[in-house]
Chains A and B, each alone.
Chain A
Amino acid sequence: MTDLTLTRGQVDRERLLRLLQEYGVYAGVVALLAFNFVFTSNFVSAENFRTQAVQVAPVLIVALGMALAIGTEGVDLSVGSVMALSTSLLSLYLGYGPWMAVLMAVAGGIVIGLANGSLIAFLGVQPIVATLALMVAGRGIALVLLPQLEDVRDPGMASLGSGDVLGVPYLVLIAAALALLVAFVVRRTTFGRQLLAVGDSRPAARLAGLPVRRILIVVYACSGALAAVAGVLATARLTASDPTSLGNLMELSAITAVVVGGTPLSGGRIRIGGTVAGAVLIQLLTTTLIKHDLQPSWTQMAQAVVIIAAVYAARERGKR
């Protein structure tokens, strides 16, 4: 708070970066859509949109949990492993019926999340370290439970993966419902407001008497539960449980979606709309590159560029 008078140029630059951070993601989505409408053959078809939407659903669901963790100035690297664990549990318990199997899978995710949250809240372990530990452990457990790929031949699961309501796939409906739910939690509940206060300034939240530990534990449990749901849906879509590869690098996609969507890594702010757009942006980027015959490795590099741009915009603005 040294000098509040900014020059004209600074103000313009400030405003530009702010617009870029907050709405750049929507502009990116529109630009990619426009590009594909014009230059990509077979892009404009109901079938293609359906495929895109189904593919984006698991990433978005994981990103919702990630947004909560990032909102507390944390991060959850274990989400990919939680997906693997949930697919293993699902496969193992399918004999007791699909509902039981889904319940166990989600419970597994919550347990991992509680472990993350406890390490962070009670032992003061850095979120990046705590969730890295669970990322390694989680996939280990998943592979012990189910050492190799197994087909999922449950009619219920199959219809979950490929069924629809009026042409809208179940997966997309579930992802949309969860996005609305998380947005509601963040905006309207006491928990959501307190979560943001914890992320904005933890010492202040503590002195204001907020239950900081409980909030952190619940946040990571939510992230675990959402990642497990994503694992269940991905399994249903693939009709196979593959704990070796399911969810690989998912943490990176989720973080990208959140950050590109305008949620600052420094916590205190969560943008669910932006996160949805961020997930769509990554999906479109991947599709665009693949449809134009570029290697998947290009997608990863493109993702890297996008995430750096997003973090740069946020950083420049934060500095002032």
Chain B
Amino acid sequence: MLSVTGVSKLFPGVKALSDVDFTARAGEVHALVGENGAGKSTLIKVLTGVYQPDSGEVVHNGSPVRFTTPLQAQQAGISTIYQEVNLVPLMSVARNLLLGREPRGRLGLIDFRRMHREADEALRGLGIRVDVSRPLRELGVGAQQMVALARAVAIDARVVIMDEPTSSLEPREVRTLFDVIGMLRERGIAVVYVSHRMDELYEICDAVTVLRDGRVVHTGRLADLDRLRLVSLMLGREIGEVRSEGLTKFTGSHQAAAEPVLRAEDLTVRHQLHGVSLSIRPGEVVGLGGLLGSGRSETARAIAGALPADSGRVSVGGAPVRTGSTPAAIRAGISLLPEDRKAEGISPGLSVRENIALAALPGLSRFGLVDNARVDKVVDTFVKRLRIKSAGPHQKVGELSGGNQQKVLLARWLAMHPKVLLLDEPTRGIDVGAKAEVQSLIDELAEEGLAVLLISSDTEELIEGSDRIIVLKDGVVVDELTGDAVTEDALMRAIAAESPAPPDSAELSKSPDFPQSPGSAGSAP
């Protein structure tokens, strides 16, 4: 139906796709999986005409095509459903469904009765019952996504690409979505399904293609691939592979105190975290394991107050910390090194000096006036200690290398003398030398008695750096590895294990305007 052969796509400095073959067949649900930076989104963008491949070709219906705009791909019958629905929220469901193809009466005016009837029929055909005359935005996200799907079917899409469609759906909505996907399959539509949720993949997908670092590392029937193998393909680690110690700069386990300094209990964030609890002792590095989208970053952000938690408690040294407030968390001694260093970490236009002093500034001031001598002293101390390389303290941080930017951020937090350091991908996108330095620094800090939470997609780094690993999956803690069990094999097995229960059945509730799933409530199409 739709395929690409030998496609490569270069971006300045990175090869996003190299020599990728991918085929979506009619009547097949094809899973496209891979970790961050594997090239999934680039491939989707090539398929939908957002990007043009540098080499290789796209074949649609047996003939090579060259989509230069997303519109052309759409007209050729390729529809994409994004996580965020791209419809017009203020217009009625019916108008959205038939946008641009409204039935016209005499005088060329829209025939509303016919439009509503047709829209209703189209949605019923998919087993969805909603009042089509209401504005789209009054529906839940799930129902909106269903309308987007119905629209894709209505405009005769032959290929439907779904990018993490379930990330903001309630479990019940997921059921309806899967039923609709089943119907699409029966109608001979090719579905490309991007998701990180392994249970979902095994439930609805027929085929799978695994991307890693811009290459296809596996393609074939999903049923022939067990979960453990799939995880090892995605992470690029072999099962049972002899682990070569000492590839990272970590020295091994630390002597941790007995009483945890940080306790997080029952952290719940709608759609993202479901009762996550963890504790870290001073001098301990606790790793957070799991695939992309498993809730690792969200856990760190919820602890740091950067992601408002719906429920749950955080305490530092026994004293409760108000959740949902970054200043409160910082005052309690929690520091977060965010995953997106460029957008949320550094202030690119400010100098090295200003960046380092940013959080500690009130403490380095007297009567609201900055004490420049003290700032200089702090900046000097950390520039030396972390070996930050810059043209001088007045150079803009945006001009530094990734590794030095990361060190500046570490300096910013160390200047606050934190008790707990949450590190979200501390070595991503920084060069090898800086990576080793950051790793040994993490070790050093733990030895000095800091409690460290480490998140890393680099499995090796996670295994060697952590004394203990808590494994997350779909926002739930599924396992904890301690002592000798902190190995890659154990980690991959924990990630691949089937979920004991659908995540949080207690949350099935309150979505009054959500459509009935087909079969229920006597809606025989």
Contacts and interface: CB of A to CB of B under 8 A. Distances in A.
Interface of A: 1-3, 188-191, 193-194, 196-197, 200-201, 203-211, 266, 268-269
B345 interface: yes
A209 B13 contact: no
A208 B362 CA distance: 12
A2 B12 contact: yes
Contact of A207 (B344, B350, B369): B344
A3 B346 contact: no
Contact of A190 (B306, B345, B369): B369
Contacts, number: 80
Contacts of B348: 200-201
B350 A200 contact: yes
Contacts of A201: 343-344, 346-349
Given A193-B370, A210-B327, 10 more contacts: A189-B365, A193-B361, A194-B361, A197-B347, A200-B347, A204-B345, A206-B306, A209-B359, A268-B347, A268-B349
Secondary structure type dominating chain B contacts: mixed
B299 interface: no
B350 A196 contact: yes
Contact of A205 (B12, B331, B347): B347
B368 interface: yes
Contacts of A197: 347, 350, 354, 358
A197 B350 CA distance: 7
B412 interface: yes
Interface of B: 12-13, 304, 306, 326-327, 329-331, 336, 338, 343-350, 354, 357-359, 361-362, 365, 368-370, 401-402, 412
Contacts of B326: 206-209
Given A204-B344, A207-B344, A209-B326, A190 B354 contact: no
Given A197-B358, A200-B348, A207-B344, A188 B330 contact: no
Contact of A193 (B304, B354, B402): B354
Given A188-B369, A190-B368, A206-B326, A3 B347 contact: no
Contacts of B344: 201, 203-204, 207
A11 to B, nearest CB: 14
A35 to B, nearest CB: 35
B469 to A, nearest CB: 25
Contacts of B358: 193-194, 197, 205, 208, 210
A145 B344 CA distance: 46
Contacts of A269: 349
A269 B338 CA distance: 24
Given A190-B369, A269-B349, A203 B343 contact: yes
B370 A2 contact: no
B327 A189 contact: no
A238 B348 CA distance: 46
